[in-house]
Structure 1
Amino acid sequence: MADLTSNRPTRTLADGNEIPLLALGVWQVPDGPECENAVRWALEAGYRHIDTAQAYGNEASVGRALRDSGVAPEDVFLTTKFNPGLRDPEAEVQRSLERLGVEAVDLYIVHWPQGGPTWAWDGMQRAHERGYARSIGVSNFNVSEIDAVRKVADVAPVVNQVQFSPFEFRRELWEACESRGIALEAYSPLGTGRHLRDRRVADVAERLGRTPAQVLIRWALQRNLIVLPKSTHRDRIEQNAQVFDFELSPGDMETLDGLDGTGGTDRALERSWW
């Protein structure tokens, strides 16, 4: 388990690499100044994990912000994702590295299992073997898809990034990942803003003197999840980082657990978009 009293807690992945539990996600952030500012503000606020993707179209902005931040590149954990609408993970990560302006990413993920769960894994392993990615993983994979990859893998995936929050508490998927040595990463932990308006979350937040976003992020951290809140507002980016100086009680955790609408599924999504 991570030490959540630290202001930059990490988790040790199955391959031995350390990953910060709190990340800034930049999904749906346009390439250009808006993305650059969000990344810069996050780094100023103490984030040391940035999560982007080829499909987001903003890797170049992330790279510019990293270079302009004054933070040493080796101090920032950088994730990008292979777009499975393309052909070759190894070739595409090299293009990502050019856009990002780095020699390697810390984590490279198959963004979704388009075309089946296993076809891209050989290219992911080549990217890892050649030093372009220090760790490799998957995203939006169900348990059966994870097991299919593990069956053919020489290097097993160490993360599965999925939509996850108290409202999407995919308990069977989470437990299956943990039992296989795969860390679960929670994207859209705030429900792209929807979950912040829930009265039950607000009640917990008001009682603790916290924001609803802080409560939802803290819920994920207390489950030893890597959590990726996205914002382009400086004040919210800063608030979302202020989650290591309070604790949700067992009763609070139970209340939030009860918000799940997935039935504790082992599936990563209720419906596929590809």
Structure 2
Amino acid sequence: MTVGAVTADGRARVLADGNQLPMLGLGVWQVPNGPVCVNAVRWALELGYRHIDTAQAYGNEESVGRALRDSGVPREDVFITTKFYPGHRDPVAEAEQSLRRLGVDQVDLYLIHWPQRGPTWAWPGMERARERGLTRSIGVSNFSAADLDKVATAGTVVPAVNQVQFSPFEDRRALLAACERLNVAVEAYSPLGTGRHLSDATVRRVAQRAGRTPAHVLLRWCLQHGIPVIPKSTHRERIAENAQIFDFTLSGADMAELDALDRTRGTDRALERGWW
């Protein structure tokens, strides 16, 4: 498969290192460690999800690992992402702790969660984590085009992924173009705007025209731009709903109408303002 291409079945994106990132995953940001997280992950795996996205900062890696074990789905069939918390010093040591909490020997993708203290200082440690087999792929999250250029220049491996907030309302076209130039896959977190975007009149109109739900429309818009999505939910029916995005296509007119909702002016930044 060509780097950057979506697989023939439309369910994975081929990364620059040859690994395949599922186009749909479950995000567990703000899901507390314990039964709520275990149930959400277990339901997702039962419903056919094969990517779970967590982070050291979320504090719920243990629950993700427990749900994976309880699910009975073979480890090699599930793509697991976690993220290095950049308030700590050593990506390798923190990856080892993540593996213990998750109960696995390796994660599939390890990201720098945000560019605290600058974009490049943690990257050598991320490369070491990959060299030691703690992760199959490495990448970043919340990095701007300028941040990515610095990492690509300083490192020996270019990030495979840049996970950022992306949706019709956050259509960071210049950042997407910069990532494509470097063969970095953009992955969308909060593609539903933590629920805010579901009530937008344009989204609802397109959904009605397509005979789908607003969530379907927002997620499908990302997929048709080649962007994997990790919507978060702790409700089984919503987790099931969010998975029904591979059996329809939005028209060119629908896509253009959604493209026009962008509020970022096509920025090359990952965030309108940093939180660090």
TM-score interval, smaller chain: over 0.9
| Counterpart position of 1:210 | 212
- For residue 6 of structure 2, what is the aligned residue in structure 1? 2
Matched letter for residue 227 of structure 1: V
Q: Give the equivalent residue in structure 1 for 2:25.
A: 23
1:193 — aligned with what?
195
State the Cα distance separating 1:79 from its structure 2 match.
Answer: 0.2
| Residue 242 (structure 1) aligned to one of 244, 262, 272 | 244
Tell me whether 122-131 or 202-211 shows the greater mean CA deviation. 202-211
Q: Which SS does the other structure have where 2:229 is aligned? A: strand
Structure 1 partner of 2:138: 136
Give the partner amino acid of 1:204.
V
Measure how far apart 1:3 and its partner are: 4.7
Q: CA deviation at 1:25?
A: 0.4
**Residue in structure 2 matching 1:258, options 257, 260, 264:** 260
1:186 aligned counterpart, secondary structure: strand
Which residue number in structure 1 is paired with residue 173 of structure 2?
171
8 Å contact 2:7–2:14 — kept in the other structure? no
TM-superposed CA distance for 1:152, in Å, is 1.0
Q: Deviations over 1:208-233 (max 9, x none)?
A: 22110010000000111111110011
Change (3 A) 1:220 1:199: same
SS in 2 for 1:136: strand
Q: Secondary structure at the match of 1:167?
A: coil
1:54 matched residue in structure 2: 56
Q: Distance in 1 between matches of 2:43 and 2:217?
A: 21
Structure 2 letter corresponding to 1:185: E
Q: What is the Cα deviation at residue 120 of structure 1? A: 0.3
> Gaps spanning 5+ residues in structure 1: where?
none
Partner of 1:89: 91
Aligned counterparts of 2:97 and 2:61: Cα–Cα separation in 1: 10
Rounded to whole Å, the distance in 2 between the matches of 1:11 and 1:3 is 6
- If the length of structure 2 is used for normalisation, what is the TM-score? 0.97
In structure 2, give the amino acid aligned to 1:262: T
> Which letter does structure 1 place at the counterpart of 2:148?
I
Could you list the per-position Cα deviations for residues 100-156 of structure 1 after superposition, in whole angstroms to 9, with x for gaps in the alignment?
000000000000000000000111011000000100000000011001111111121
Aligned residues: 272
- Displacement, 1:19? 1.0
Q: 1:233 aligns with which of 228, 232, 235?
A: 235
- Report the Cα distance in structure 1 between the residues aligned to 2:49 and 2:241, rounded to whole angstroms: 12
Residue aligned with 1:255, SS? helix
Runs of 5+ unmatched residues, structure 2: none
Kindly indicate whether the alpha-carbon contact (under 8 Å) linking 2:143 and 2:270 is maintained by their aligned counterparts in 1. Answer: yes
**Which residue matches 1:105?**
107
Query: What TM-score, normalized by structure 1, do the two folds share?
Result: 0.98
| Aligned counterpart in structure 1 of residue 119 of structure 2, from 111, 114, 117 | 117
C-alpha RMSD of matched pairs (Å): 0.9
2:153 to 126, 151, 154: 151
